[in-house]
Amino acid sequence: MKMYPSGTPSFKANLLIVWSEFVKNMKFLMAYPVLFVFWTIFPFFWFIPFIFQGQAFVGGLQSTSFEQFAGTPNYIPFVVIGAILNGYVLTSLYGVGESIRREAYRGTLDYLLSSPCNKAFILIGKAVSESINSTMYAAIQLVVGILLFGIEVTTGVIMPIVLIIFLLILGLYGISLMLAAVSLQFKQAHDLSHTLEYVFYIFSPVRYPLQSLPFWAQVLGRFLPLTYALLAVRSLMLLKQNILAIYQEIFLLFVLDIAAILLGFYLFNWMEKRTKSSGTISHY
């Protein structure tokens, strides 16, 4: 690994930082194998009540009232897709978003921040490992969804779905970067993560169509990347539309991603300077 005379690390060195951070996080995951099982299985327990609730209230597997809002009477696949994509939100908020606080608890944050590398690459490494974890969980859940809950996947939708998930991860990365930044200064990161989770939970169409919410709630929902990801994926998988029909959702998701990432980096750098001046970096 070469260092330039000015001290700026090479691109290879930065990639190594990303890789090292990824390996470290994977080792932590391996040290807690029960966590892997938890995050794979428990999302099912979160949406299964909605399925039973639907059957009890509707008396069948389809609802005409639901179709008026969602465009499909099949509420079960609707809810399952929502739960799978919501998993990305949870792992990014509680993974990357709280990663800075966890480093403070462990006592390693001072060393990370005083190292000469660009902190962005450390955070990218964290995001990469969390994204890979989320995708592993999502893949397992999708297979179960196909086998047990009537989800249909054709080969034509796979690439568009991969694109949408990639864009979703970018947007969530920006939001979790903002969360990590705020948690540098304000120590109660867990409360912030929970609050953000509530916002996604209520205002994104995870379990019910966006159109079923009051107007003001719909407007708020349209500022969340998960909303567009869910609208796009459900259009492809449930309404059998092609990618051209969802170009608006993809474009708006992309715009949100750029805004979130730029704001996230700006906020992180600003908060880092602020906490270094106040000397409260490693407090928790």
Residues 65-124 that bind other proteins (CB under 8 A): 65-66, 68-69, 75
Find the binder of other proteins among 195, 242, 248, 269 (CB under 8 A): 195
Q: Which is nearer to other proteins, 8 or 188 (CB)?
A: 188
- The verdict on 37 binding other proteins (CB under 8 A) reads no
Q: Which is nearer to other proteins, 56 or 147 (CB)?
A: 56
Contacts of 84 (CB under 8 A, 6+ apart): 43, 138, 141, 142, 145
The residue range among 5-13, 59-67, 136-144, 159-167 that interacts with other proteins, by the rule CB under 8 A, is 59-67
Q: How many residues bind other proteins (CB under 8 A)?
A: 32
- The verdict on 49 binding other proteins (CB under 8 A) reads yes
Find the binder of other proteins among 13, 16, 117, 190 (CB under 8 A): 190
Rounded CA-CA distance 255/154 in Å is: 28
Helical axes 75-91 vs 119-148, angle rounded to 10°: 160
Find the binder of other proteins among 162, 191, 262, 266 (CB under 8 A): 191
Find the shortest distance in angstroms from Cβ 114 to other proteins.
Answer: 22
Find the shortest distance in angstroms from Cβ 217 to other proteins.
Answer: 10
Rounded CA-CA distance 26/39 in Å is: 14
CA distances from 84 to 78, 155, 264 (A): 10, 19, 25
Rounded CA-CA distance 76/71 in Å is: 13
Q: Which residues bind other proteins (CB under 8 A)?
A: 23, 26-27, 30, 49-50, 53-54, 56-59, 63, 65-66, 68-69, 75, 188, 190-191, 194-195, 198, 201-202, 206-209, 212-213
